[in-house]
Amino acid sequence: MNLTRWDPFRDFVTLQMNRLVNDPFARLMTPAETVGGWFPPVDIHEEPDRIILRAELPGINRDDIDVSIENGTLTLRGEKKQEEAIESENAYRLERFYGSFARSFVLPAAIDPDHIKASYKDGVLEVVVPKAEEAKPKKIKVLSEGDGAETRTEARTARAAS
């Protein structure tokens, strides 16, 4: 599995291009209206027996987070609600993101979807996806002649003699 650093600018440009192609009226909207949702940063790493995903979701209630898997794709959905409305005329800065988000990640085919676990603590969602038994690395013991293994020559000689 390749490690890809999240680039918010790339995701923003991709989102804007998709909206331009898919929604011909997007050009008529103001920039604030076209930004839409936000994308929480995610780290994904693989261990021998599992895949771990961690997403930063500060300020989101656990009940507003949905984790699902379908056809090998893990999807995170949620919504960050604004605590109180702020009049934009009275604001010096409004930099925090609010609204819905959705992120999807294609996982290796050999996972165990029945044993996926998700936990949420201190604004970080952790999803642990165990690998299926056939995907886990297995050590194969290499035998030597002293361990009872036959060489090909000995096996052929034994078959020819019988």
Residue 66 lies in a domain: yes
pLDDT digits (tens, 9 = 90+) for 80-121: 887 777 777 777 777 777 889 999 999 876 889 899 999 999
Residue 51 lies in a domain: yes
Residue 23 lies in a domain: no
Residue 154 lies in a domain: no
Residue 44 lies in a domain: yes
Residue 90 lies in a domain: yes
Residue 142 lies in a domain: no
Between the two ends of the chain, the Cα-to-Cα distance in Å is 51
Domain around 41? 37-136
Number of domains forming the structure of the chain: 1
The domain that holds 104 is classified in CATH as 2.60.40.790
pTM of the model: 0.60
Residue 104 lies in a domain: yes
Cβ atoms < 10 Å from Cβ of 125:
21
Report which of 161, 41, 45, 146 is spatially closest to residue 103, judged by C-alpha positions: 41
pLDDT digits (tens, 9 = 90+) for 30-57: 333 334 467 899 999 999 889 999 999 9
